[in-house]
Structure formats: structure tokens, C-alpha cells
Structure 1
Amino acid sequence: MWDLLIVNPFTNILLLIYAFVGNFGVSIILFTILIRLVTHPIMAQQIKSSAAMQELMQSDEWKKIQEKYKSDKEKLAQEQMRIYNERGVSPFSSCLPTLIQFPILIGFYQSIVRAISASPLQLLAVVRSIYPGLENITPAASLSALIPIQSKFLWMDLGQPERVILSILPFGIPVLAIIVGLTTFVQTKLTMTPSASPNDQSAQMNSMMGIYMPLLLFYFSLNFASGLAVYFIASNLVGILQYAALGKVNWKNLFVFGSPKSEKPKAKIIKR
């Protein structure tokens, strides 16, 4: 069922794009942009939820319970959940795009590995997974004729973990994995929802995501096929551009450790 719903469609889309552009690395980047466009409504809803969360945290009601129950964490959490439910706001809404990304990246990784298979049995499995309706709509004689795929892109083999070998070093440098970690960190910080208090659930979740997601994706990129790292980098950069186009990027967040706090409104000076 997983192959039928996720891996096979992803493999066919990758092969279809590859048939037109002739470069598997570029195919991965274009497919990533396509995925970002398809999931844009989810991201837009997440931005809307984040704005609602920020408005809630700046409200007088929120500030009152923060002050009233500052010494009773359990009661404070109960009151926070009550307000969340009353206003229809979820403290975990900003994590939804990240959670959705996991099945996508698993399926994407499997489709990359399948598309650049080397053994005869694996190549046969790729050919059998191609949809008959797509065979004759490409510049090539057929999608099957493209198998096996050329997996070289720039200096790397997209089917293998990437390393840059320097003669002066006894080990390879994982350039792509480092770029993945940095771009994930930047995207997470730039899209983080400001918090009125570092102790609320949303602030704690944002802070954890800002630390663990870059490390997790760095680990994946370090140990798995470099095609997945190309996907991560392209996805992060396109995501930042999407947020910037919507006016939701705050570069000041890059210089704030942990979850950024909401700016307090300045007191008005009344002249007499």
C-alpha cells in the first residue's frame, strides 16, 4: 500500500521530469519545488495559525493568567489549554508542516534510491513500477528507455552519501550535510512564532524544533543518499522564499537564542 500510494507515484514523477530535463539532480530540485507548491495551502494555514497564536499571547487575558499562576505550572497549563480551546488555536500548529514532511521525505528517499538502482532485479522493479500511460508522452522513446538513470550531479553521486575529499585531510567533508543543517536552522528561526513567555508550550516546542530539526536532518544527510540532501536544501530555500513573499520573515530571529519573544507594545506618552 505504501509503494502504491507514495513511492510509485514519486518515482514516476521523478522519471517524467528527468525525461524532459535530462539531469537527475535538477529533477530532484524541480520535484521539490512542485511538492512545495502543492503543500502551500497547508503552509498558509500554518502561518494563519501562527498569527492567531501571536495575537493570543499578546492579549490581556493571556498575560493575566501568566501572572496569576506563575507559581503553579499545572494550573497555568490548564488555563492555557482552556484559552486555546476557546479561541480555536493549537500550540502545535506550527509543527504541522514539519510532521507532514516526514512521510514525504521517506517516500522521496525511497523513490530516489529506486530510480537510480544498479542491480538487474532492482532495475526490473523500476521498469515494472512505471505507469503505462506515461511511457509515450516524453521526448524519450519511453520512460523505460531511460533506465538506468545517470546519478551524477555536480561533484556527487546522488545515490551515495556525499563527501568532499581533500588531500590535506584524512577524512571527507560532508558539505551537503553541513548546508542542510545551516539552511534548516535558518528556516526554523526565520519562521518561528514569537512568544510572550519562554515558559509556555508553544515557546518550548519552537525552541526544541529549532535545535533538533537541524541536527536530525544533518544526520539524515550525513548517512543517506545525497539526493535526499539536495531535496532538503531545495525545500529549505524555497520555504524561506515562500515566507519572505508572504512578509513573514523576521531576520532578527537569527540573533535570538531559543524562542523569540513578542515585542511589547510601547507605552504612549500623553502630553499635557
Structure 2
Amino acid sequence: MDFILNPFVTILTLLYSIFNQDMVLAIIVFTALIRLLTYPLTAQQMKSSKAMQVVQPELKKLQEKYKNDREKLAAEQMRLYRENGVNPVGGCLPLLIQFPILIALYQAVIHALAASPLSLIDLSGRLLIPGLGDVIPLENRWMGMNLSLPPDMTTGSIIAYALPVLVVITTWLQFKVTTPPMPPSEDGKPNAAASTQQTMGTVMPLMYGFFALSFSVGLSIYFIASNVIGIAQYVLMGKADFRNILPFGLGRTQTAAPALTTPTPTRRDISKGGSSTPPKDSAKPSGGGKPRR
């Protein structure tokens, strides 16, 4: 892991020296750079997830049809994937590649916020640029808090209370925006996948918020920055799905097909195409139909 961690620690320390020893700004910019570098993997994961969602209804039909024949089910599933150009592991591979990168990013923030003498020595040994160790120890005070320690609630600082709340909110928003709603079950039965998705969307943000109470302030800032940048990525790519966060199920009804109704002619239509009632025969001459001389 050091072959990924050491370059990350070096880049984060370099950004710290560039931005006038502002550790918070260095963490935000560093997170944005890593997000940009992993964008192709994110795009591939989104593409695979979308393709799997398209074939999901047909996949459920096959599972119901061949529920007692596993070999036939596997063959039909592969045929369905092949005909629709779907790679069943296409969404997992980018995630597996990103996982060690995200772990290294997380560890880089921890190492850069070194507080003890031993951790400072370890930090200086990880820097790959000569002379960069002159900025050690890094300034870890921000808004009256120590970035290397958990938020201290006893100080009464608004920021200390706000950080865990922002972690919960941004994690929830990113999950909702980047996760499209599951289609309803055709037979009216409860959708197990949708229930699992809803549970994850509730438990995961609360879990991260709980972790933010014991993690360092610098890591909370990293989580918030990562979530906000992730949401911005999806919005800029036009892939953000806001149906999950609309109240009262409005997002789910947006995709419903409109009812077919007979259009009622408007004044504009009447002015273009004539009156809505058949015109009277005004060309018929009066007085017996004889023309005047």
C-alpha cells in the first residue's frame, strides 16, 4: 500500500505548502484531484449500473421461469447479457480498483495530520520530494479546532456540532442523487432490492455521522468534500437522479405515462383552423338564387 500512500502523502503536503499552509484547502483540492483521476472508473461503473437496470425486468422474468433449473437460468442470463451488451462484473471492477485508492487517500490525510513525534518521523520518511520536509510539522489548527483530533463538543463550538451533521447530510444526498430508484414490482409484491436500498440510504449516512464523532476533524472535512464533489460530478455529467429526494413520491410519478385524452380545441386552434362548429353556407344567394343584373 505504500506505493500508493507515499505519493498521496507527498502530494497532500505539497498542496499544503502551495496554499500558504492551509491544510483544509489542501485536503479539499487533493480530494478533487483524486476524484478527477478516478473519473473514468466512475463513468464506467455508472454505465454498467445503468445497463444492468435496463435488463432487470427481463432478468426477473428469467429467474421466475427457470427457478428450478439453475443451469438453464445461467445460460439464459448470459444470453440476455450478451444480446444487450451487458457485462455483469463491469460495475464491480471499477469499484475494486477505486477501493485501494480511496483507502490510500484516507490514510494520507491521517499521516499528514501527524501529531505525535513518532508519526512526524514517519511522515518525513514518506515524502518523495527533497526539501518538502521543511514544512513539517504541518499546521493543524482550524477554526479553533485541532484537525488531527475528533471534534470537541465540550467547547460549545458550532463547527464541532455542524461537522457530523454535514457528514450525514452530504452522505445522504450523494447516495440519493447517485442511486436511481428501483422500479416497482410488476406483481405488486414488496421489492426486496428496493427495501435494501432504502435501508442502506438511511443507515449508511447515520453510520458515517457516528464515525465523524470519533474521527479527526480533518477526516470529517475530507468526507464532506468528497461527497460534495461526487454530487457535483454527477450533476455536471447529467447523470444525477433527483427523483429519490423529491417529497411525497413526486419523483416516482414523473416517469408515469400520461393518460390519453381527447384534446379540447383552444381559441388559437380555432383561429388557425376555423370555428369548432361547421361554418354556415353563406355563399348561397338570397331571393330565390337568381343573380342580380
Superposition TM-score tier, normalisation by shorter sequence: 0.7 to 0.9
Task: Provide the residue aligned with 2:51 in structure 1.
Answer: 52
Q: 1:175 to 1:167 in 2, by over 3 A?
A: closer
* Contact 2:59 2:77 (8 Å CA) reproduced: no
| Secondary structure class of the residue paired with 1:196 | coil
Q: 1:196 to 1:167 in 2, by over 3 A?
A: closer
CA–CA separation in structure 2 for the residues paired with 1:93 and 1:213? 24
1:165-209, CA deviations, whole angstroms, 9 ceiling, x for partnerless residues? Answer: 46599xx95421221111111110111123224666764553344
Select which of 214, 224, 229 maps to 1:233.
224
Select which of 146, 163, 167 maps to 1:176.
163
CA–CA separation in structure 1 for the residues paired with 2:121 and 2:156? 39
Task: Provide the residue aligned with 2:179 in structure 1.
Answer: 192
Q: Aligned runs of 1:30-109 on 2, under 5 Å?
A: 30-57=29-56, 61-62=58-59, 64-65=61-62, 81=77, 85-86=81-82, 87=84, 89=86, 102-109=99-106
* Contact 2:243 2:252 (8 Å CA) reproduced: no
Select which of 132, 154, 157 maps to 1:143.
132
How far residue 15 of structure 1 moved from its aligned partner, in angstroms, is 0.7
Structure 1 window deviating more from structure 2 (26-35 vs 217-226): it is 217-226
Task: Provide the residue aligned with 1:162 in structure 2.
Answer: 151
Q: 1:243 to 1:32 in 2, by over 3 A?
A: same
Q: 1:63 to 1:270 in 2, by over 3 A?
A: farther
CA–CA separation in structure 2 for the residues paired with 1:173 and 1:255? 29
> Does residue 250 of structure 1 match 2:250?
no
> Does residue 207 of structure 1 match 2:207?
no
| Secondary structure class of the residue paired with 1:194 | coil
> Does residue 111 of structure 1 match 2:100?
no
Structure 1 window deviating more from structure 2 (93-102 vs 189-198): it is 93-102
> Does residue 153 of structure 1 match 2:151?
no
* Contact 1:194 1:262 (8 Å CA) reproduced: no
| Secondary structure class of the residue paired with 2:240 | coil
Task: Provide the residue aligned with 2:212 in structure 1.
Answer: 221
CA–CA separation in structure 1 for the residues paired with 2:79 and 2:161? 46
- Which consecutive unaligned segments of at least 5 residues does structure 2 have? 263-293
Task: Provide the residue aligned with 2:11 in structure 1.
Answer: 13
CA–CA separation in structure 1 for the residues paired with 2:210 and 2:138? 26
Q: 1:115 to 1:206 in 2, by over 3 A?
A: same
Count the aligned residue pairs: 252
Task: Provide the residue aligned with 2:24 in structure 1.
Answer: 25
Q: 1:102 to 1:120 in 2, by over 3 A?
A: same
| Secondary structure class of the residue paired with 1:248 | coil
How far residue 262 of structure 1 moved from its aligned partner, in angstroms, is 8.9
Q: 1:128 to 1:267 in 2, by over 3 A?
A: closer
* Structure with larger RCO (C-alpha < 8 A, sep 6+): 1
| Secondary structure class of the residue paired with 1:16 | helix
* Contact 2:212 2:220 (8 Å CA) reproduced: yes
Choose 1 or 2 for highest CA Rg: 2
CA–CA separation in structure 1 for the residues paired with 2:155 and 2:68? 53
Q: 1:219 to 1:230 in 2, by over 3 A?
A: same
Task: Provide the residue aligned with 1:139 in structure 2.
Answer: none
